[in-house]
Structure 1
Amino acid sequence: MDEEAYVLYHRAGTGAPCLSFDVVPDVLGKDCDRFPLRLWLCAGTQAESAQANRLLVMKMHNLHCTGAAAAESSDEEEEEEEEEKKPQLELAMIPHYGGINRVRVTQLGGMQVAAVWSEKGQVEIYDLQRPLVALSDPQAMTTFLREEQSKIKPLFSFAGHMTEGFAMDWSPTVPGRLVTGDSNKNIHLWSPKVDGTWHVDQRPFTAHTASVEDLQWSPTEATVFASCSADGTIRVWDVRAAPSRACMLTASQAHASDVNVISWNRQEPFLVSGGDDGTLRIWDLRLFKEGTSVATFKQHTAPITSVEWHPTDGGVFAAAGADDQVTQWDLAVERDQEGEAESEDDPALASIPPQLLFVHQGENDIKELHWHPQCPGVLITTALSGFNVFRTISV
């Protein structure tokens, strides 16, 4: 690893690998960019046996900068502080029967809750309060391990999908509203009730003809969400209509094969999608009826496994692929005259799009990535090889 290319770089292992995770917001608020960093995650394991799985609530702290930033201190100071600068990982684990396909966290009435898509075909909602308190106080952790850990049950559970799935997203505009999609092409809408449970509409959204792979709510329109599927399409829905008539827009051949992941930009009217064909496509929602993407990038050499727009920079996004690469992109970058001249002299350079900022490697079988919404530029990934937490010099 070239340390000069990173502002921050840490690795962590959790025993059994995690297929999915989400960031738990920190009480410190936005722009927590002072080192050492602290962050909270919620993840779900894929253990070898069903009974060995856990819903993990994680506290990573004492995350110091690396590379040139760390080199500013003297060698003597580094030796004295080496022990103090060791990164720390603490876990509070909730037993979960069955592997966890996807985890999504939201804040609901002052609580941090996690929606969990299980390989056993259920979607469950967990209150994360007790494990979060345990990670904040050693005495509370002792009580959690002795008295609470084995007693935690879901706040709510839905088994109406009848099969497993991966697609799931909390609404950013309506607290507690959720959509979940399964491998049988069905999507269900969840609406929160005043008694702390949910009403799940038994009438599924059914326009897809194959597995629903990902779901994303509009960041501005409370009733609109997008979906992508193994049928090669991306669809936009409005829940004000009956489920059988709710599909409003369709990109019928969005990718050459399965569309694996999508992300809805929170600043601009754009979607980014990633497919089994290894391409990344940018969609302008103002032109979505035309069914043609406005940009296509083919840097990855294997299926795309995760994409996400930067939380505050509307032109930047990150992607992960089954080629063990994480790429960072900036749509605002164009090749200047000097770059054009260099690309003419070097065919290999000409094949690299100017929008490609950075390629992160060194992981095995990357499954999911997320930007940290409160730590500027910090990207977190989960893979078969464990977790990476890093910030590059490019973003």
Structure 2
Amino acid sequence: MARSIKNPKKAKRKNKGSKKGDGSSSSNSVPSLPVKVWQPGVDKIEEGEELQCDPSAYNSLHAFHIGWPCLSFDVVRDSLGLIRTDFPHTVYCVAGTQAEKASWNSIGIFKISNISGKRRDLVPPKATDNESDMDSDSSDSDEDGEVQNGGSAAPVFQLRKVLHEGCVNRIRAMPQNPHISASWADTGHVQVWDFSSHLNALAESETEVSRGASTVSNQTPLVKFSGHKDEGYAIDWSPLVSGRLVSGDCKNSIHLWEPTSGTTWIIDTNPFLGHAASVEDLQWSPTEVDVFASCSVDGNIAVWDIRLGKAPAASIKAHNADVNVLSWNGLASCMLASGSDDGTFSIRDLRLLKDGDSVVAHFEYHKHPITSIEWSPHEASTLAVSSSDNQLTVWDLSLERDEEEEAEFKAKTREQVNAPSDLPPQLLFVHQGQKDLKELHWHSQIPGMLMSTAADGFNILMPSNIETALPSNDA
């Protein structure tokens, strides 16, 4: 699968977001024409029409960039609280650039604070005319698609940059020691970094900085591994063994990194071999310390046990095309999700592997390659998916179609919803507006918050119909 971001340029755009059935609307300059619900993959944008974000679909929506486009990023665990539901929010991230010239690349370590938003009911209570006016004022969106609390200030963006040799194919922060990150470079090197000084400086500062003007520091990585025979994209830290890492390359090799102290590793030069083509993604088991999974361009998923040697413990023909991404469910560890180059994604129950058919759900909604997939850290049945069709979708596998409930909802909200009748009932939310979506992550400490990166920058979003089912501090 081609991973690079073509023609990387900084860009602004209007966001297009949606609730289930898509809450984006299409309108043109003729006042008499009605606003209608946008149907992704069905409707065409006619001349003079444009998509506009429906701010009522989000509790929060913000857009930003750090200069060059980023193919990969990771949310950095912080010490601000394990479960945070009250606005404003603060997030820390690391991201790697895809610059026009190799020498211009960097890793960005950034903090965004004062992230504003609001809580909304799925079906708003009836309001008087005065209340309706107030609600309308407080939910206006600015040109970056930002949903704000009435009168609240814009988020504060702080950025520090570290020089990186070559483009960053993927970057991951260690969950146990979040100041440690591993990066995969298109030069074929895997490097481990200590960003503690940068994160500490960001934590102590409240001064906003320019995205493009930040000084780039030249920092030596803790480790620079040159044992891979090609570049790669697959890399994952163990959630159970602090510092344990696996990295996979485009020549089908997987290497195991074992920590010997906080800043040194023994890297096994004898690789795990079992795929016939590029290893695209790796995921450690959330419950078994010695087990990880891999997926490949060969269409297979392999499950490995590092105690049993360098061959897979199990191999599954998962898709009819490249398997691009994996996600192992942290709340239901028997469930493994995978996304393919043909736009399909599947859910497997690993307990059924011995029976031959472990697929418990298979979706063909997206028509272009799946670029990222991740289970929610707060809801065992919920996962998010991004695709090259410029859609980020959220799915709840526990949902079933209830025609009476749908009719009642439409009657209460008086919406003329013209969504296709064959939409999967598990499709909870569709977010649009980003070009060439590459990666998404849930925030493990802020229920309902998603972040995504694309050719034209980052989005932070909190769909209004997701957080309602999550823990709340509101009393």
Same fold (TM over 0.5): yes
Is residue 334 of structure 2 the alignment partner of residue 277 of structure 1? Answer: no
On the 8 A contact 2:384/2:394 being kept in 1, the answer is yes
Is residue 318 of structure 2 the alignment partner of residue 250 of structure 1? Answer: no
Q: Distance in 2 between matches of 1:195 and 1:364?
A: 39
Aligned pairs (5 A) from 1:168-247: 168-194=235-261, 196-243=263-310, 245=311, 247=312
2:127 corresponds to: none
1:364 corresponds to: 435
Question: Structure 2: which 5+ residue stretches go unaligned?
Answer: 1-52, 122-131, 141-148, 210-214, 409-416, 467-475
How far does residue 336 in structure 1 lie from its aligned partner after superposition? 2.2
Q: Distance in 1 between matches of 2:201 and 2:393?
A: 35
- The one-letter amino acid paired with 1:366 is L
Q: Which has the higher strand share?
A: 1
Deviations 1:87-115 (A, max 9, x none): 1211010011200000000145x562000
On the 8 A contact 1:111/1:127 being kept in 2, the answer is no
2:163 corresponds to: 95
Is residue 394 of structure 2 the alignment partner of residue 328 of structure 1? Answer: yes
The alignment partner of 2:273 has SS state of coil
Q: Which has the higher helix share?
A: 1
Is residue 366 of structure 2 the alignment partner of residue 300 of structure 1? Answer: yes
The alignment partner of 2:56 has SS state of helix
Q: 1:348 to 1:124 in 2, by over 3 A?
A: same
Deviations 1:159-183 (A, max 9, x none): 1002100001000000000000000
On the 8 A contact 2:157/2:208 being kept in 1, the answer is no
Instruction: Please point out which of 148, 153, 164 is paired with 1:85.
Output: 153
2:17 corresponds to: none
Deviations 1:192-236 (A, max 9, x none): 013721111111111100000000000000000000000000010
On the 8 A contact 2:175/2:239 being kept in 1, the answer is no
On the 8 A contact 1:42/1:57 being kept in 2, the answer is yes
On the 8 A contact 2:156/2:206 being kept in 1, the answer is no
On the 8 A contact 1:9/1:66 being kept in 2, the answer is no
Q: Distance in 1 between matches of 2:340 and 2:272?
A: 22
How far does residue 338 in structure 1 lie from its aligned partner after superposition? 2.7
On the 8 A contact 2:344/2:363 being kept in 1, the answer is yes
Aligned residue pairs total: 380
With normalisation by structure 1, the TM-score equals 0.90
Question: Structure 1: which 5+ residue stretches go unaligned?
Answer: 143-147
On the 8 A contact 1:101/1:117 being kept in 2, the answer is yes
Q: Distance in 1 between matches of 2:185 and 2:420?
A: 44
Q: Percent identity?
A: 46
The alignment partner of 1:366 has SS state of coil
- The one-letter amino acid paired with 1:280 is F
Q: 1:68 to 1:220 in 2, by over 3 A?
A: closer
Q: Distance in 2 between matches of 1:5 and 1:140?
A: 31
- The one-letter amino acid paired with 2:269 is Q
How far does residue 394 in structure 1 lie from its aligned partner after superposition? 2.0
On the 8 A contact 1:50/1:98 being kept in 2, the answer is yes
The alignment partner of 1:65 has SS state of coil
How far does residue 273 in structure 1 lie from its aligned partner after superposition? 0.6
Bigger relative CO (Cα 8 Å, ≥ 6 apart): 2
CA RMSD after TM alignment? 2.7
1:122 corresponds to: 189
